[in-house]
Amino acid sequence: MSEPGHRYVSTDRRVREDRRFVVGKGRYVADIGLPNTKHVALLTCPYPAARIKSIDKSAALAMPGVHYVLDGAELAAATLPLMTGLETPNVPRRPLAHEVARYAGEWVAAVVADSRALAEDAAEKVKVVYEKLPFVLDAEQALEKSSPLVHEAHGSNVLLDKTFTWGEVDRDFAAAPRKLSLRVKWGRSSTVPIETFGVVASWDPWRDMLDVYASIQMPRYSDQIGIALKLPASSVRVHYDVDVGGSYGVKRGIKHTVLVGYLSRRLGFPVRLIEDRLENMRGGDAHGPERLFDVEVAFDDQGIVKSMKLRALENVGAYAGRSPFQLGKPIGAIVGPYKIKSVQYRAMAVVTNKTTQEAVRGFGQAPTNVAIERTVDEVAEVLGLDPIEIRRRNMIRHEDFPYTIPSGTTYDSGDYHTVIDKVLKHTSYEDLKRERDALRAQGKLAGIGIAACLEPSGGNAMFEALLNPKITTTTFMDSCRITVDGIGSITATMHTTSSGQGHETLVGTVIGEVLQLDPELIRVTRPDSLNSLPSGTPVGSRMAIMLGGAAFHAANKLKAKLIAIGAHDLGIAPERAVYERGEVYDRNAPEKRRAWADLVQIAYRNFHRMPADMEPGLSVSHVMQVPTGGKLPDASGRVQMYPCTSFEFHMILISIDPALGRPQIVKYRVGHDCGTVINPKIVRGMTMGGIAHGIGAALYEEFAYDGEGQLMAQNFMDYLLPSSHEVPAVEIVHHCTPSPHTVLGQKGSGESGYLGAPAGIANAINDALRPLGISINTLPIKVAVLGDLIAAAQEKKE
Amino acid sequence: MRETLRKENRMRIELDINGSKREIEVEPRTTLLDCLRDTLGLTGAHAGCEHGVCGACTVLFDGVAVRSCLMFAVQAQGSAITTIEGVTPGPGELSPVQDAFCETHGMQCGFCTPAMILTAHALLADNPNPTREQIVEAISGNICRCTGYAQIVEAIALAAERLRGANRPKDARP
Amino acid sequence: MKAAPFEYSRPADIDEACALLAADESARVVAGGQTLVAMMAMRLARPTRLIDINRIAALSYIRTEGDDVKIGATARQCVAERDALIAKSAPLLARAIPNIGHAATRARGTVGGSLANADPAAELVLCAITLDAVIEYRADGESGEIPAREFYIGPMITTLPAGAVLSGVRFPIWRGKVGVGFHEVNARRSDFAFVSAAAQVELGDDGKAKRIAIGVGAATDFPLRLDSAEAQLSGTALDEKTVRDALRAALADVETLEDLHASADYRRRVAVDLAARALADARNAAQGKPHAH
């Protein structure tokens, strides 16, 4: 897997973060013990919609050890609503329900007590009088005029309804000999990390400083806290050296942080809120997409897809959050890996009386990929084409790159056909089909699922400006600072938290590569937000590209400075000086050299030996803008979304026990191309984990509600995360098509696996069902639902 | 014992924690997990679901892997508890299982990792030569959301192999 | 998710446990606690006093007595799972127990705790009903017993008298050419079953079913014994068609449960299928054939 010419990059090195994790010395937010910290428990609304008539706190406040009961009215008066992306001023979002609660589980009051157990005792004593209100749960019903309004002042339940037309859709549809339409449903699921969200806030009135420790993965986190709490962001110190116990997008936590930040300022002691699992599942605002797709495609007799119309209707839940934007990001890969020439895309987001969503791994791309890939399979089915063959025919070819898709994004590079070839070389397709047929002969339902999907990576957020023209942000930074100290040791900084992506290893590896020094010698730290350079967060599969890029550029700046110092001291032109493993020598006389210690000596203590006009010391930094970024969308809604596109090709054999409807993954192969791999262990782990998460979304996980608006899957006995039993052995076939836009040719992989697994599994199950003449396009595909469907089809056949 | 132990709604208990005797006072309702974390400062055990499904709170109870969230600390009176801190050989040192997890990168965020490693220790104490299926079965009660389990299974297999090797006499062949 | 406050007692013997229980009607006995403690954490159970019987050494036995295997209330599921005597004399239990939760919950979970908890999907409850086990208890210094088929009357509801503590269970030993089968279906392998089925068969020298017991769990408020099918299949060679017809008839009018995970139709239909598989396994085992897996 190692790419030629690299010393540390692409080599199979250990991940430095692991050492603290294996001994239980990760420092998670629940491990932060500030003296005199008090604990929050939350009182939640039992109804999907209710007016809060009164809150009686007296019995709770009378309990010894109980310090405060905060309600939504007090908090709303003292803070600003949370930032939302769309222009929806009449859909305010606040940490605690104010006047009206809009979903079952929404937080209504926060109790502060000496211990979490006591806070829960007291929360039971708070008496709230509610007036139940009519509610709506289903997205299509929410669109109807007669439907109850979730936010009355907004005047409708629609937050977003925007149609884009890229290319000659009508003409292409009229000209195409064949058309097909399909409805695909992605059920409400999320990333559900094993660590819930937690935050500790401590206000120091003598320093005007709010110290925040949180299990956070949120861009502009301290800005948003500052704005909501009406504090300058310079009074919000976010500690990034907190390990985050998994996130995959959802750990946004603004509402939690504003809540405890306010409480700490109000009460004068540190306050912590570590969600328990019920708070997390019901009211943590960490649900993911629940999306209904109506797809129409126009194609010819050879299976070439000419045009596509896609309507995506998102049920965002009670408040906007980041969710509506998750309809925007897929625009950057709206045709997947295919040469579809024109696209119409209608993005609709409605509010309902369900829990609010946050960003989920892939930011809407995984559901969109299911819609595209299910449709491609249906086209193949109609024409009697093999699912791999139809993909080959439609796919962008290696020589077509860079390739601009109708929605304006130029894909950087790819070699999709070769990846498929490599997977089929690893595992014979014919043998796999024989294995499927043998299973069928044994009385099983068996199917092969193919999915070819893209992972846009590099994470600019151009969907914001696309969906909300008032937003003009085109700057999306990440940064790194490297300091060589006075005795020559190296410290690099990164400026965000991590949730398992191995960023310290990434920074160390890249700097080690550039400086030709053992990465283990490079300390990587995380200063707090007040000591940080401008930075984003690990969203949008961006850190290998952006943090890796920033580290690369900073290291090159350091190298250039070392060369300048060495050359000057050697009395030669910098062009004649060569840098090698920490030393600088004269190209023409290699024995003339300055060792690392010499260079440090000059930079720190011998100003008289420094080149003119050079800063003393050895500290450099680099703030990096996302490659290819910087342009606003044009008038027709064409935009350059993420700079890089990784590719994944899934080939899955599934067997279903027809009597039970229980699927079992028999074989799982995936071809993966994310350009240059910086750390193979990390990239493999990401892909494996993404596939496991995708298996969950496809088969097990759903935040299901009953007709009364109650969340039925609110604990881990009903929301089913895949265990080791459910995740098969997966074989990955690696390919490397470097990106021309990144420093080492790397692309993103933080969402890999997840972006194609649900599509591949859905296709495999549909292949298995084909002999029965039925199909299923609603995810997750649950055992008993599948069982009932199969039984009904068998009955009909008999 | 019993009522006589009770003092202002707290009870005095004695536990053998990682080989040393600790006498502490806890409320009856304090779970063993909360006692380990909050009273004893052993934060390697993690609260993931607090209702016995995720396994992040796993500790060894008299040598057997159990959920520390599904037991009250008072119930552990007199028992031997091993936490992740107890299987770490010394400052800066790793047990063979811990080292194998580092070698295969059998984790990402690290939150489920201590529990996973304790489960692996319990498995390997019982079965030094587990098959892949046995490893999968052993860790099936520990949910990992990051890795998809592959590199965890590999870590445990690697640890087993190394531990078996460590106990084997040196190969005498030339 | 912290339990509401409670008092804790650790009685030295079962009669002391009974006395504590009789003194406080909101007290609960805790054995392995693998269900109760989770329910307490969610405050769905809130006993005022927890009576911990784990340390009562006299309750952790597994032994045979006459024609019965006797298991004490606090015998751990993981111990029963590996117990040679159970494997030999109550093989259905040996088949069923690995399906309970995970190794880490079986390490604490007890046989008696599961029986007393009366979850409709509990594997041990299904075994008890299928095999006509007898539940034993102590109350007020006296011993009592209730046949399992009279013990369970609803989801999480039993006829255990107020103030009584379940002390153990006896499973009758079947002798001769005996085979067992156990199947369940769920989404993930270690979850509560949507449907489960247990069967035990004794074959006569003619190869026909001499004695037969079939039970279905998780499909109804408490596990169901399929008496009519047993009667119909007794004396037959248990061929597939006869078996399925008998099972279908036995389950035709049963009102099955419907929930988030499975429809009532699914449960009724799959109950037939799993019971047939369990019965086939049992027949094959009695014939000395290995299980087809």
Q: Which residues of C touch B70 (CB under 8 A)?
A: 33-34, 37-38, 105, 108
Domain residue ranges in chain C = 7-52, 57-172, 177-286
Task: Print burial letters for A97-121: b (CB count within 10 Å at least 16), e (below 16).
Answer: bbebbbbbbbbbbbbbbebbbbbbb
Using one digit for the tens of pLDDT, what is the confidence trace for C109-144? Answer: 999 999 999 999 999 999 999 999 999 999 999 999
Structure confidence at residue B161 (pLDDT) = 97
A107/A273 Cα distance (integer angstroms): 13
C5 lies within 8 A of chain A by CB: yes
Q: Does residue A610 contact residue A568 with C-beta atoms inside 8 Å?
A: yes
For residue A495, how many other CB atoms are within 10 A of its CB?
24
Q: Smallest Cβ distance to A245: which of B30, B105, B109?
A: B109
- pLDDT < 50 stretches in chain A: 1-3
DSSP state of C159: -
Structure confidence at residue B167 (pLDDT) = 62
A722 lies within 8 A of chain C by CB: yes
Tokens of A615: 């800063």
Using one digit for the tens of pLDDT, what is the confidence trace for A666-697? Answer: 999 999 999 999 999 999 999 999 999 999 99
Structure confidence at residue A309 (pLDDT) = 98
pLDDT of C289 > 90? The answer is: no
Q: Smallest Cβ distance to B113: which of A21, A685, A691?
A: A21
pLDDT of B168 > 80? The answer is: no
Distance from CA of A694 to the nearest CA of B (A): 10
Interchain pair A194, B56: CB under 8 A: yes
Q: Does residue C216 contact residue C229 with C-beta atoms inside 8 Å?
A: no
Residues 34 through 73 of chain C touching chain B, CB cutoff 8 Å: 34, 37-38, 40-42, 50, 52, 54
Structure confidence at residue C291 (pLDDT) = 57
Q: Smallest Cβ distance to C194: which of A712, A723, A784?
A: A784
Distance from CA of A730 to the nearest CA of B (A): 8
Is the dihedral angle over the CA atoms A303, A380, A185, A465 positive or is it negative?
Answer: negative
- In a mutagenesis test of the C interface, which of A711, A779, A783 is the best target, namely the one with the most C β-carbons within 10 Å? A783
Q: Which residues of A touch B88 (CB under 8 A)?
A: 23-24
Residue A282 host element (H or E): helix A277-283
Q: Let me know if residue B38 belongs to a domain.
A: yes
Q: Which residue has the tokens 């969610």?
A: C42
Domain boundary pick from B53, B85, B117: B85
Using one digit for the tens of pLDDT, what is the confidence trace for C183-193? Answer: 999 999 989 99
Q: Which CATH architecture has domain C7-52?
A: 2-Layer Sandwich (3.30)
Q: Which residues of A touch C43 (CB under 8 A)?
A: 120, 124
Q: What CATH number did the domain enclosing B109 receive?
A: 1.10.150.120
Nearest to C54 by CA among C80, C84, C75: C75
Domain boundary pick from B62, B85, B108: B85
Q: Which residues contact A128 (CB under 8 A, 6 or more apart)?
A: A43, A45, A52, A54, A55, A56, A108, A109
Q: What is the CATH number of domain A378-459+642-797?
A: 3.30.365.10
Q: Which residue has the tokens 């070839």?
A: A421
Structure confidence at residue B1 (pLDDT) = 36
Q: Which residue has the tokens 């693998």?
A: C34
Structure confidence at residue A1 (pLDDT) = 40
A345/A160 Cα distance (integer angstroms): 13
- Give the strand order in the sheet containing C134-139: C62-65, C68-72, C165-172, C134-139, C142-147
B and C: number of Cβ contacts within 8 A: 90
Q: Which residues of B touch C105 (CB under 8 A)?
A: 52, 67, 70, 141
For residue C258, how many other CB atoms are within 10 A of its CB?
13
Q: Which residues of C touch A782 (CB under 8 A)?
A: 187, 261
pLDDT of B2 > 80? The answer is: no
Interchain pair B67, C3: CB under 8 A: no
Structure confidence at residue B171 (pLDDT) = 52
Q: Does residue C180 contact residue C282 with C-beta atoms inside 8 Å?
A: yes
Q: Which residues of C touch A784 (CB under 8 A)?
A: 194, 261-263, 266
> Which residue of chain C comes nearest to B49, CA vs CA?
C1
Q: Smallest Cβ distance to C107: which of B29, B50, B66?
A: B66
Structure confidence at residue A629 (pLDDT) = 84
Q: Let me know if residue B173 belongs to a domain.
A: no
Using one digit for the tens of pLDDT, what is the confidence trace for A400-442? Answer: 999 999 999 999 999 999 999 999 999 999 999 999 999 999 9
- Which domain, by its residues, includes B106? 96-166
B150/B107 Cα distance (integer angstroms): 10
Residue A613 host element (H or E): none
Using one digit for the tens of pLDDT, what is the confidence trace for A478-528? Answer: 999 999 999 999 999 999 999 999 999 999 999 999 999 999 999 999 999
Same domain, B40 and B78: yes
- Give the strand order in the sheet containing A38-44: A66-71, A107-113, A38-44, A271-274, A198-204, A209-214, A236-239
Q: Let me know if residue B172 belongs to a domain.
A: no
- Give the strand order in the sheet containing C49-52: C7-9, C49-52, C27-30
Q: What is the CATH number of domain A32-133+197-274?
A: 3.90.1170.50
Q: What CATH number did the domain enclosing B16 receive?
A: 3.10.20.30
Structure confidence at residue A322 (pLDDT) = 84
Reported confidence tier of residue B166, pLDDT bands at 50, 70, 90 = confident
Structure confidence at residue A321 (pLDDT) = 80
Interchain pair C190, A723: CB under 8 A: yes
C248 lies within 8 A of chain A by CB: no
Q: Which residues of B touch A276 (CB under 8 A)?
A: 50
Q: Which residues contact C135 (CB under 8 A, 6 or more apart)?
A: C115, C128, C145, C146, C147, C148, C151, C158, C160, C166, C169
Using one digit for the tens of pLDDT, what is the confidence trace for C263-279? Answer: 999 999 999 999 999 99
> Which residue of chain B comes nearest to C17, CA vs CA?
B2
Structure confidence at residue A272 (pLDDT) = 98
Structure confidence at residue B169 (pLDDT) = 55
Interchain pair A117, C2: CB under 8 A: yes
Q: Which CATH architecture has domain A18-24+477-625?
A: 2-Layer Sandwich (3.30)
Interchain pair A720, C263: CB under 8 A: no
A78 lies within 8 A of chain C by CB: no
Tell me the pTM.
Answer: 0.97
User: Among 3.30.70.60, 3.40.1260.10, 3.30.465.10, 2.40.50.100, what is the CATH number of C57-172?
Assistant: 3.30.465.10
Structure confidence at residue A797 (pLDDT) = 85
> Which residue of chain A comes nearest to C195, CA vs CA?
A660
Interchain pair C5, A712: CB under 8 A: no
pLDDT of C77 > 50? The answer is: yes
Q: What is the CATH number of domain C177-286?
A: 3.30.390.50
Strands A236-239 and A445-457: unpaired
Chain C: touching chains (3 or more CB pairs < 8 Å):
A, B
Distance from CA of A14 to the nearest CA of B (A): 6
Interchain pair C270, A659: CB under 8 A: yes
- Write down how long chain C is: 293
For residue A296, how many other CB atoms are within 10 A of its CB?
17
What residues does CATH 3.30.365.10 cover in chain A? 18-24+477-625, 378-459+642-797
Same domain, B77 and B9: yes
Q: Smallest Cβ distance to A691: which of B45, B148, B151?
A: B148
| Residue C50, CB-side half-sphere exposure with 13 Å CA sphere | 26
Interchain pair A244, B109: CB under 8 A: yes
Q: Which residues of B touch A22 (CB under 8 A)?
A: 94, 98-99, 101-102, 107, 110, 113-114, 117
- In a mutagenesis test of the A interface, which of B145, B151, B152 is the best target, namely the one with the most A β-carbons within 10 Å? B145
Tokens of C208: 């026909």
Interchain pair B31, C33: CB under 8 A: no
Interchain pair A688, B37: CB under 8 A: no
Cα A766–Cα A772–Cα A777 angle in degrees, nearest 5: 30
Using one digit for the tens of pLDDT, what is the confidence trace for C80-102? Answer: 999 999 999 999 999 999 999 99
Write the secondary structure of B20-88 as one string of H (helix), E (strand) and C (coil).
EEEEEEECCCCEHHHHHHHHCCCCCCCCCCCCCCCCCCEEEECCEEEEHHHCEHHHHCCCEEECHHHHC
pLDDT of B3 > 50? The answer is: no
Distance from CA of C274 to the nearest CA of A (A): 9
Interchain pair C37, B72: CB under 8 A: yes
| Residue A450, CB-side half-sphere exposure with 13 Å CA sphere | 21
Q: Which residues pair with A311 in a beta bridge?
A: A294, A346
- In a mutagenesis test of the B interface, which of C49, C79, C102, C190 is the best target, namely the one with the most B β-carbons within 10 Å? C102
Same domain, B13 and B80: yes
Tokens of B6: 């009770």
Q: Which residues of A touch B53 (CB under 8 A)?
A: 715-717
A29/A446 Cα distance (integer angstroms): 46
Strands A403-404 and A410-411: antiparallel
Distances (CA, A) of A592 to A575, A585, A587, B126: 15, 6, 9, 63
Task: Print burial letters for C1-19: b (CB count within 10 Å at least 16), e (below 16).
Answer: bbbbebbbbbbeebebbbb
Identity of the residue numbered A18: D
Backbone phi, psi, residue C260, to 5°: -50, -35
Chain B: touching chains (3 or more CB pairs < 8 Å):
A, C
Q: Which residues of B touch A692 (CB under 8 A)?
A: 145, 147-149
Q: Does residue A272 contact residue A115 with C-beta atoms inside 8 Å?
A: no
Using one digit for the tens of pLDDT, what is the confidence trace for B110-150? Answer: 999 999 999 999 999 999 999 999 999 999 999 999 999 99
Q: Does residue C278 contact residue C183 with C-beta atoms inside 8 Å?
A: yes
Q: Let me know if residue B119 belongs to a domain.
A: yes
Residues 102 through 141 of chain A touching chain C, CB cutoff 8 Å: 116-117, 120-121, 124
Quote the strand ranges of A139-240, DSSP E.
158-166, 178-186, 198-204, 209-214, 236-239
C220 lies within 8 A of chain B by CB: no
Count the domains in chain B: 2
> Which residue of chain B comes nearest to A501, CA vs CA?
B108
Q: Smallest Cβ distance to C261: which of A117, A715, A784?
A: A784
Identity of the residue numbered A81: P
